[in-house]
Amino acid sequence: MSSKKIYIINGSPRKNWNTGKMCESFSNGAKSQNIETEIINLYDIDFKGCRSCFACKLKNGKNFGKCSYPDGITELLEKISMSDGLVLASPIYFGDITSSMRAFVERLMFPFFQYDNNGTTIAPKRLKTAIIYTMNVDKDYFFRDYLGSEKSDTLKNFEKFLGYVFNAPDIIYAFDTYQFSDYDKYLCERFDKIKKQKQREEQFPKDLEKAFEAGVKMAKEIK
């Protein structure tokens, strides 16, 4: 095993569902290249988003450039910033990343984002990055209504800031995911049970394969 490491952040509350499985597959891809990985389940950690304390921007402050707010994520933020690769995996909630993932990126990235005239990043390492999105809607709907219109701004900004602070992300998608283990039990007229099942059996394995390949790619890049 090399000394290089990739952190994979699962921003879904469901550890072993669609997003979790995509994380696992990415991890297996990276591990196949002898790169260490660690999957972090954000919903296991007691933390909140940025408190706007600005200790990270205080001139000559002892915590300049880092988030020192003491809670369950502080130590991990430091470890991630010294790693080599970062994967942010999130289900789409109301056209955006989940609230936990949002809180996480505020804490991780804001200290590195300088308020100088050039908006310089002071991340100690320019980590390789990837994003995994999983969602209920299909590909056409996503690109038309989430990324092709005014609604798209939040996701585009998320991707832009990640690129700015670390490196432009590779993006892996799983569309049209299954949401329940038994569609008959829930009120869900909008989504066709048979179509979902077909997607789950035929398309999702291909999505997992894409995540695996992305893991291989990132591992090779950081080797």
The residue ranges that bind ligand FMN (CB under 6 A) are: 12, 14, 17-20, 91-95, 134-137, 177, 179
What's the closest the beta carbon of residue 66 comes to ligand FMN, in angstroms?
Answer: 30
**Residue among 141 and 161 whose Cβ is closer to ligand FMN:** 141
- Which of 77, 76, 6, 2 has its CA nearest to residue 37? 6
Distance CA 80, CA 87 (A): 10
Nearest approach, Cβ of residue 139 and ligand FMN (Å)? 11
Measured from the CB atom, the residue of 33 and 154 that comes closer to ligand FMN is 154
Distance between CA 204 and CA 50 in Å, rounded? Answer: 35
User: Could you tell me the smallest distance in angstroms from the CB atom of residue 172 to ligand FMN?
Assistant: 13
Report the residue number, 126 or 193, with the smaller CB distance to ligand FMN: 193
Cα(162)–Cα(9) distance, integer angstroms? 14
75's tokens: 């130590």
CB closer to ligand FMN out of 38 and 145: 145
Q: How far is the CB of 57 from ligand FMN (least distance, A)?
A: 33
Least separation in angstroms between CB 93 and ligand FMN = 4
Which one, 65 or 95, has the nearer CB to ligand FMN?
95
Nearer to ligand FMN, 15 or 125 (CB): 15
Please, what's the largest Cα pairwise distance for the chain? 61
Single out the residue of 61, 135, 41 nearest to residue 95, CA to CA.
135
Amino acid at 218: M
Least Å from the CB of residue 122 to ligand FMN: 33
